Amino acid sequence: MFGQPIPSIPPMASAGVVKKWYPVAEEGDGLIHMTCDRSVGGNKTWVALENHAGNWSSGSADISQVLKGFIGPKYGKQYLVKVFDGDDNEIPQLDTSDWTFDYSSGVLVFNSATRSESGATPMDSIKIKVYQYVGKSAAEMIEAGSAAGAGGRERVRASLTGMKDGSNQVYRLPDDCDATAHYEVQVNGIGVEPVTDFIVGTDPLELTLKVALTAPEKLDVVYYPVVSS
Residue 220 near residue 161 (C-beta atoms within 8 A)? no
Q: What angle do CA 115, 109, 10 make, to 5 degrees?
A: 115
Can you point out the beta strands (E) in the chain? Answer: 18-21, 32-33, 35-36, 45-47, 82-84, 90-91, 99-102, 107-110, 127-133, 156-159, 170-172, 184-187, 190-191, 198-202, 205-209, 219-223
Length, in residues, of the chain? 229
Q: What's residue 228's pLDDT?
A: 47
- For 50-71, how does the pLDDT look when each residue is reduced to its tens digit (9 = 90+)? 999 999 999 898 888 899 999 9
- For 163-173, how does the pLDDT look when each residue is reduced to its tens digit (9 = 90+)? 555 567 888 77
Predicted model pTM: 0.64
From the CA atom positions of the chain, what is the Rg in Å? 21
Q: Cβ–Cβ contacts within 10 Å for residue 34, how many? A: 25
3-class secondary structure, 70: strand
Residue 58 near residue 65 (C-beta atoms within 8 A)? no
- For 182-202, how does the pLDDT look when each residue is reduced to its tens digit (9 = 90+)? 677 777 777 777 777 878 877
Q: What's residue 192's pLDDT?
A: 76
Q: Which of 25-34, 164-173, 202-211 has the lowest mean pLDDT?
A: 164-173
Is the predicted pLDDT of residue 159 greater than 60, yes or no? no
**122 cis-preceded (ω within 30 degrees of 0):** no
Beta bridge partners, 206, equal 172, 201
Higher-pLDDT residue of 162 and 79 is 79
Whole-angstrom CA distances from 206 to 45, 200, 221 are: 40, 6, 12
